[in-house]
Structure 1
Amino acid sequence: MTKPTTKRIFGQSHEPDEGWLAKAVPETALEPQLPIVDAHLHSLHRGEYRYLLEEYAHDLAACGHNVVATVAAECRAMYRAYWPDHLKCVGETTFLVGIAAMAASGEYTAARVAASIVAFADLTLGDRTRETREAHKEAANGRLAGIRQAGKWDSDPAVRGAIGPGRAGFYLEPEFGKGLDVLAAMGLTFDASVFHTQIPDVVSLARAHPGANIVLIHTGSPMEQAGYAGKEAQVHATWLA
């Protein structure tokens, strides 16, 4: 398959390149009866790009796999415009509960879409962090499983992307650790989103907070662009270690 012709900016959402995707060779499901939980699904309508229940149901019907449920992961979609800043993100949870209700009708798919939700909260806000998580919990109606807050950072702006704390060592800051402890006390998981060079930070975080349940998402995001281009073997060795 040739590379997409449209220039992409790392860390930002883009409409799919349908012409490029059409070149993919269809693959037959190896175990079409195997029950699968799609553990990281984004639902959003941003600009002209739309990926909501209808689009996902279409993909499910075409893929040949037995996807029985999904975990909805936050992607900064459908924030409330008129709430306080630390609570605007709760709008995404109410939106995802609506997606779940639509899926439960059976009109779109048999899968339990958004059976669980991983929401966003800023873990560094002290009492406001707890308020955000309580609001998510109430809005999720039993579906809240965890919280995700990106810690991705690299000294190269071309690698850093559009979403992240804007500084190194974010997960190791004391205020973040306090927020993580509150999260653990609530029985919620934490989705750690870092680049492969930051995996040691996640290890240190886990050792400092042994009661926390931490999920290293995107397999630690090994980088291949900008300054990492052409260094696949080195990147793999660093990531593997």
Structure 2
Amino acid sequence: MSNERLLLVDDDKELCSLLTEYLSAEGYRVDSAYNAQQALEKLQSQSYSLMVLDIMMPGTTGLELLQQIRPRITLPVIMLTGRGDEIDRILGLEMGADDYLGKPCNPRELLARIRAVLRRMSPQAPVEGRLPEQPLVIGALSLNPATRDARVADQLLELTSAEFNVLAYLMQHAGQVLSKEQLTRWVLHRDLTAYDRAIDVHVSRVRQKLAPYFEQAGGESVEMIKTVRGQGYIFVYTADQVQG
């Protein structure tokens, strides 16, 4: 049985009650908040392992709440998306969510997603997708899986758990093309589904966060992660040129 504490943030009290009952039976300690203000108060007073956050709430939306907390709170977040519009899901990922799940929400599927996200934070990952024990260093870029620190020279990179793992797996297999299927299994601990752009968004976010630190002559960004059309992504960076 798990001893992890979860925070459910959704204005649907009936859904929160149902999910709390289901997840509690699986060994999780579950708190609920029905609006953004309640969520902020709970986040300030209690430490959580993961937050399940509904995008569409009255007043401050889930996306707005995520945008507020991301600069200072790094706990994993799974977004619940009630709309069919893919833009909400992409926006959530771009703002730092780790994964998303559509509503109406199947409790068993949510449980699987929660376990997958928490598993990626654990050193006891499956061998196929396990991060190395030793730090990864390529040029000025270094990642320490033990402390989950990513740095360019001595500057800390602010990465979500999914972004850290994306970069770590790409660096670990530098020079090799990793398919979206592989990255989805290793990073999100689930299978790639049709129209699933979660990995694409996480890779894009990693690129954006690295770009300010690495420049070629003339100010152009170094292409560290290439897209191989129809195949996946490859980490190609080998230099150690740092901005400034």
Give the TM-score taking structure 2 as reference length.
0.27
Give the TM-score taking structure 1 as reference length.
0.27
